[in-house]
Amino acid sequence: MMNGTDRFGVIMAGGRGTRFWPLSTSAKPKQFLELLPGGTMLQLTADRLAGVCGRDNIMVVAGREHGGLVLDQLPWLDEENLLLEPVGRNTAPCIGWAASVLAERGQAEATMLVMASDHRIHPVEEFARTSGVAVSAAESGYLVTMGITPTHPATGYGYLEKGAEISEGVFRVKSFREKPDPDTARRFLETGTYLWNSGMFVWKVSGILKAIGKHMPGLLEGLAGLAGCTRPDRDTFSALPALSVDVGIMEKAGNVVVVPASFQWSDIGDWPGAREAGVSRGETVLVDSENTLVYDATGRLTVIMGLRNVSVVCTDTATLVMADSCAQKLREVSEKISEC
Amino acid sequence: MMNGTDRFGVIMAGGRGTRFWPLSTSAKPKQFLELLPGGTMLQLTADRLAGVCGRDNIMVVAGREHGGLVLDQLPWLDEENLLLEPVGRNTAPCIGWAASVLAERGQAEATMLVMASDHRIHPVEEFARTSGVAVSAAESGYLVTMGITPTHPATGYGYLEKGAEISEGVFRVKSFREKPDPDTARRFLETGTYLWNSGMFVWKVSGILKAIGKHMPGLLEGLAGLAGCTRPDRDTFSALPALSVDVGIMEKAGNVVVVPASFQWSDIGDWPGAREAGVSRGETVLVDSENTLVYDATGRLTVIMGLRNVSVVCTDTATLVMADSCAQKLREVSEKISEC
């Protein structure tokens, strides 16, 4: 399985999300926060990936304004392995760019593992195991996505329909499905043939570039213009077509397979999701309360009385008390507040 | 009406309550907090009373441990007008003590207005008006209580049943009623003849001492032992019978009258009560929320999303998020926390 071609890890750390306000801000988005024990989301992701491909082979794509933060948190990262986006252009340009930089460096035949910088994955050993299966399939020429066995009828994720098993633990992808309505999500869960689309991919550098050439020729052209540059200017980068790799490539390509992950996964998409992932900080006393999340960045005591399904988040500058039912509105609210 | 006998104001500031945790603590109970604009509850009470009897005639009874706080907040207060309880013994000893100190100072024929240090009264002009009526009745020899016209069927207050009007705005008290159940409270409200027992009293110094001698002779004896001392020792003070003046005197005395107040009144008994009284601090953003109280002592922004009937209180050391339904439990919870 491990046949010796180089492996590279590409961490997509370009998120500017404010769904974790007041803890996250545009100056410090979720991937730079220490939500879980052991490090920031970025650090945990890098450590996990380093176990598969080694630190020297890790590449981080981040927003230009966050370059300093990345180097602070990953002081071992070579600056030439830090790709700074002058503006966010979704995942296809980000991934294509990383692939083209690797190709420029003579790594066209290497495999690359692509993943978000802000997901929770546990345990690390199972991540390494699943990655091994995925790398092996990628080396055979497939575009591999890691699929997550659903634990509940989530409506916030895209789904993959599993097809035939082509080798142990590797399945064809019959179809990609957008975020489903609750009824569809329940059906997906019951059939057992649908997996969550985690946004983690493995493929050969040459394989993804070829697929981009076929399905997003405009992107490949634009990437040629970057010529391996890791600090592109805004105008050049802005010209790249802003599509997700799922929509732009994966849904169209024929050689897509899925490796069901053996690890637990959460994208920790909002505060209620953070609660499910075990996020918590600060001393807490609950009275007649349940299903609460407390994150007090300032280390104070928090007492919750008579409430359920709420998140309480305190920082030096603000306090958020939010019913789960409002989690989807937080981004909008926090953006309005930031404007003031 | 104003016939020139001296008037004294006695402020009962002995509360050790922790129903306003985390803002209030045993080191700084509610009367010392700035819940409303313009000063702490004690300062507002003193200012209001000063308008009726003058600053020089104000006497404060407080817990020994809070003597420094009282003088900090009322720097004009003569130390000999500060009576320090070594231990709380309810209102009858507190009031009797203040009366005996005034008598020792040759003020047996003066009237004294007795009130809690931590109630909200508005507007001040109406307080002065009601006080004038009450003082006049007190000078005629009555034990006067100020009654509050109920605005809702409160179950947290005692009630007074109004009897015959003996002079303009002065009524006999037919009966005292303990805190009623909700049905009884509704009936009290409908009949229109019941008033809330506010715990504000006016009487002549000699009048209350005479009533104490008749209904609580043990207390009068104990007070004689204090001999006008304003810093009694713990053993002497602990020996005084710990009864409320309502139970010990007012419910038994025959010459009790009530003056219905023309002012708005609230005892601000808990955080939901504070909300009704308009207490609020810190910038607040509400999203899909209503009937909330925010008090951020640290001046941060508070955002509440998707909640109603909650109080959010932040200090340097703790955050409380409490449903109204739990307000009665806060004292117990805060005491447990303080023990840790």
With a CB cutoff of 8 Å and minimum separation 6, the contacts of B319 are A296, A300, A301, A302, A303, A312, A314, A319, B22, B312, B313
Tens-digit pLDDT string for chain B (340 aa): 334 469 999 999 998 767 899 999 888 999 999 999 999 999 999 999 999 999 999 999 999 999 999 999 999 999 999 999 999 999 999 999 999 999 999 999 999 999 999 999 999 999 999 999 999 999 999 999 999 999 999 998 999 999 999 999 999 999 999 999 999 999 999 999 999 999 999 999 999 999 999 999 999 999 999 988 999 999 999 999 999 999 999 999 999 999 999 999 999 989 999 999 999 999 999 999 999 999 999 989 999 999 999 999 999 999 999 999 999 899 999 988 887 6
Size of interface A-B (CB pairs under 8 A): 110
Share of chain A above pLDDT 90, in %: 91
Question: A325 in contact with B at a CB cutoff of 8 Å?
Answer: yes
Cβ pair A304:B285 closer than 8 A: no
Cβ pair A302:B325 closer than 8 A: no
Question: A168 in contact with B at a CB cutoff of 8 Å?
Answer: no
Nearest to A305 among B301, B306, B326 (CB): B326
Q: Tens digits of per-residue pLDDT, A215-255?
A: 999 999 999 999 889 999 999 999 999 999 999 999 999 99
Tokens of B50: 């000063």
CB contacts of B319 in chain A (<8 Å) are: 296, 300-303, 312, 314, 319
Task: Nearest chain B residue to A315 by CA: give it.
Answer: B300
User: How far is the alpha carbon of A79 from chain B, nearest alpha carbon, in Å?
Assistant: 38
Task: Nearest chain A residue to B305 by CA: give it.
Answer: A322
Task: Nearest chain B residue to A321 by CA: give it.
Answer: B304
Question: A293 in contact with B at a CB cutoff of 8 Å?
Answer: no
Question: A320 in contact with B at a CB cutoff of 8 Å?
Answer: yes
Task: Nearest chain A residue to B324 by CA: give it.
Answer: A306
**For residues A8 and A112, is the Cβ–Cβ distance under 8 A?**
yes
Nearest to B305 among A296, A318, A326 (CB): A326
Cβ pair B323:A307 closer than 8 A: yes
Burial of A71 (0-12, 13-18, 19+ CB in 10 A): middle
Task: Nearest chain A residue to B319 by CA: give it.
Answer: A302
A97-101, A176-180, A206-210, B92-96: the lowest-pLDDT one: A176-180
DSSP B27-53: TB-GGGS--BTTB-HHHHHHHHHHHHH
Strands of B284-287's sheet in order across: A290-296, A308-314, A318-323, B301-305, B284-287
Give the 3-state secondary structure of residue B101: helix
Among A23, A294, A319, which would you mutate to test the B interface (most chain B Cβ atoms within 10 Å of its Cβ)? A319
Cβ pair A319:B329 closer than 8 A: no
Complex prediction ipTM: 0.87
Question: A303 in contact with B at a CB cutoff of 8 Å?
Answer: yes
Q: Tens digits of per-residue pLDDT, A314-338?
A: 999 999 999 999 998 999 999 888 8
pTM beyond 0.80: yes
Question: B52 in contact with A at a CB cutoff of 8 Å?
Answer: no
Question: A1 in contact with B at a CB cutoff of 8 Å?
Answer: no
Question: A329 in contact with B at a CB cutoff of 8 Å?
Answer: yes
CB contacts of A303 in chain B (<8 Å) are: 22, 318-322, 333, 337
Dihedral pair phi/psi, residue A288, rounded to 5°: 50, 40
Write down the pLDDT at residue A192. Answer: 93
Question: A306 in contact with B at a CB cutoff of 8 Å?
Answer: yes
Distances (CA, A) of B319 to A321, B27, B292, B314: 11, 18, 15, 4
Quick count: other Cβ atoms within 10 Å of Cβ A286? Answer: 16
Question: A330 in contact with B at a CB cutoff of 8 Å?
Answer: yes
CB contacts of A314 in chain B (<8 Å) are: 314, 319
CB contacts of A307 in chain B (<8 Å) are: 307, 310, 321-323
Quick count: other Cβ atoms within 10 Å of Cβ A282? Answer: 18
pLDDT band at A3 (very low <50, low <70, confident <90, very high): very low
Question: A308 in contact with B at a CB cutoff of 8 Å?
Answer: no
Cβ pair A307:B320 closer than 8 A: no
Question: B27 in contact with A at a CB cutoff of 8 Å?
Answer: no
Q: How many residues does chain B have?
A: 340
Element holding B3 (H helix, E strand): none
Cβ pair A303:B333 closer than 8 A: yes
Write down the pLDDT at residue B283. Answer: 95
Distances (CA, A) of A136 to A3, A166, A202, A208: 8, 12, 9, 15
Task: Nearest chain A residue to B330 by CA: give it.
Answer: A305
Question: B312 in contact with A at a CB cutoff of 8 Å?
Answer: yes
Q: Tens digits of per-residue pLDDT, A62-93?
A: 999 999 999 999 999 999 999 999 999 999 99
Average pLDDT estimate for A24-37: 92
CB contacts of A302 in chain B (<8 Å) are: 318-321
Cβ pair B326:A285 closer than 8 A: no
Question: A339 in contact with B at a CB cutoff of 8 Å?
Answer: no
Question: Is the pLDDT confidence value at A1 over 50?
Answer: no
User: How far is the alpha carbon of A220 from chain B, nearest alpha carbon, in Å?
Assistant: 44
Cβ pair A285:B312 closer than 8 A: no
Cβ pair B303:A329 closer than 8 A: no
Element holding B182 (H helix, E strand): helix B182-191
Cβ pair A305:B320 closer than 8 A: yes
Nearest to A305 among B314, B316, B329 (CB): B329
